[in-house]
Homo-oligomer: A and B are copies of this chain.
């Protein structure tokens, strides 16, 4: 008996929404297949990127599968095949995509018996295995799709918000190494109350912009992050110039995806998105850095909506 699932790349943080906002992307996916076997426990089968752990409790996909088997007191086991479509360390939610694909594949294998809250918890457990913290800002959009807001609470409350269908996001992944841990360590431990107020105002404005279908306001709000983006920008060679090139090419806004180094920019058409993508890629090319580029709508389908 087999089951499988695909989970998309995601953009988290989204300017002032550090650890709160995220959205799903069309394009690259992680794919997990699970096969029921009579021997209890979990085994990782097939080829895997050599930089990923193969130990069952340390690999995101197998760790999630093991936890879900235990949750149902299964007497059988599973073989897990993980096919990475997402680049590692790109800031596009690579570990979340693996965790979510494993969660949904197992959910299907086990007869779809879990609630949305339970699925989110399994996926967050995978995120914790990967990076030490059970953040939901990438796993929520990878699981449910769309644009998501992690309100917090217990169980963690996820709020889904529709995005205008014609909005486009340009994602550019420069081939640079930027470990998430380094990007996190660069952040301040505390912020001035005034600065916090600016981020609260811009995060709230960004949500209003989604409902008002006001891309220009979304762009202003996106770029109003006074705390995280300015710090992380400095860790990514060429980032500041690339971001300015996006704005000069007419993007409504530009910011860093997750912890970086990928950046994303907003436009209201495919044609404009492709122009912006070329301008951003050209900046990194001048720095001798290769890039992957793709254009997507904001808020694609999540793993639960994909077959």
Please report A residues at the B interface, Cβ cutoff 8 Å.
16-21, 149-153, 157, 159, 161, 187-193, 196-208, 211, 217, 220-221, 224, 227
CB distance from A11 to the nearest CB of B (A): 16
Q: Give the CA-CA distance A202 to B204 in the complex, in Å.
A: 9
A191 near B193 with CB under 8 A, answer yes
Main secondary structure of the interface of A (DSSP, over half): mixed
A200 near B197 with CB under 8 A, answer no
Partner of A202, one of B152, B192, B224: B152
Q: Give the CA-CA distance A94 to B159 in the complex, in Å.
A: 36
Partner of A20, one of B17, B150, B197, B211: B197
A200 near B16 with CB under 8 A, answer yes
B152 near A204 with CB under 8 A, answer no
Q: Give the CA-CA distance A238 to B157 in the complex, in Å.
A: 31
Partner of A191, one of B18, B149, B187, B191: B191
CB distance from A160 to the nearest CB of B (A): 9
Partner of A204, one of B20, B187, B224, B227: B20
B200 near A17 with CB under 8 A, answer yes
Q: Give the CA-CA distance A207 to B203 in the complex, in Å.
A: 10
| 8 sample A-B contacts, Cβ–Cβ < 8 Å, listed by A number | A18-B197, A21-B204, A159-B217, A161-B208, A190-B190, A190-B192, A193-B227, A196-B196
Q: Give the CA-CA distance A191 to B199 in the complex, in Å.
A: 13
Q: Give the CA-CA distance A35 to B54 in the complex, in Å.
A: 83
Chain B hits for A203, CB < 8 A: 200, 203-204
Chain B hits for A204, CB < 8 A: 17, 20-21, 149, 151, 203-204, 206-207
The answer to whether A220 and B18 touch (CB under 8 A), given A193-B191, A196-B196, A207-B207, is: no
CB distance from A130 to the nearest CB of B (A): 20
Chain B hits for A161, CB < 8 A: 208
Partner of A198, one of B152, B187, B193, B227: B152
Chain B hits for A198, CB < 8 A: 152
B220 near A153 with CB under 8 A, answer yes
CB distance from A7 to the nearest CB of B (A): 23
A191 to B, closest residue via Cβ: B196
A149 near B205 with CB under 8 A, answer yes
Chain B hits for A202, CB < 8 A: 151-152
Q: Give the CA-CA distance A18 to B190 in the complex, in Å.
A: 17
